[in-house]
Amino acid sequence: MKDLTRIDDIVQEIPETESFFYGIGATFGKIIFSYRMKRNLTQKQLAARAGIGIKTIHRAEGGSDNLGVQTYEKIFRALDIQPRDYAQLFREAFEHDAKPNKRELERQR
């Protein structure tokens, strides 16, 4: 039985709440992971391109809120994401979070 007083269990049960509970780090993590996959890079390769440690990439993709703006900028640059594209990335990430998922659609039936 899930303990819905724990944030991790709530997010597992209702994935669209992830950004709400984990903040902007979760959104950055989704963007970083998605772009890394599109560019066929391993975490190790991305870390090398960004000039940071692989553990930092792992934390960034995991949604850590403890990373600085400069770290995210290094990662975004390594993924060829330009500052002018940030607004569109956030818009897409938030639109994706706002779309009902399969579980939600089944509950509505």
The enclosing domain of 30 has a CATH number of 1.10.260.40
Residue 48 lies in a domain: yes
User: Which tops the pLDDT comparison, 99 or 66?
Assistant: 66
Taking the CA atoms of residue 94, residue 19, residue 15 and residue 6 in that order, the dihedral angle to the nearest 10 degrees is -170
pTM over 0.75: no
d(CA 35, CA 93): 12
Residue 63 lies in a domain: yes
List the domain range (segments joined by +) for residue 43. 23-98
Q: What's the whole-number mean pLDDT along residues 9-26?
A: 73
Helix ranges, the chain (H): 7-13, 18-22, 24-38, 43-50, 54-61, 69-78, 86-98, 102-108
* Mean pLDDT rounded to a whole number for the chain: 80
Residue 45 lies in a domain: yes
Give me the residue label for tokens 């639109």: 95
Say how many domains are in the chain. 1
**Residue 5's pLDDT band (boundaries 50, 70, 90)?**
low
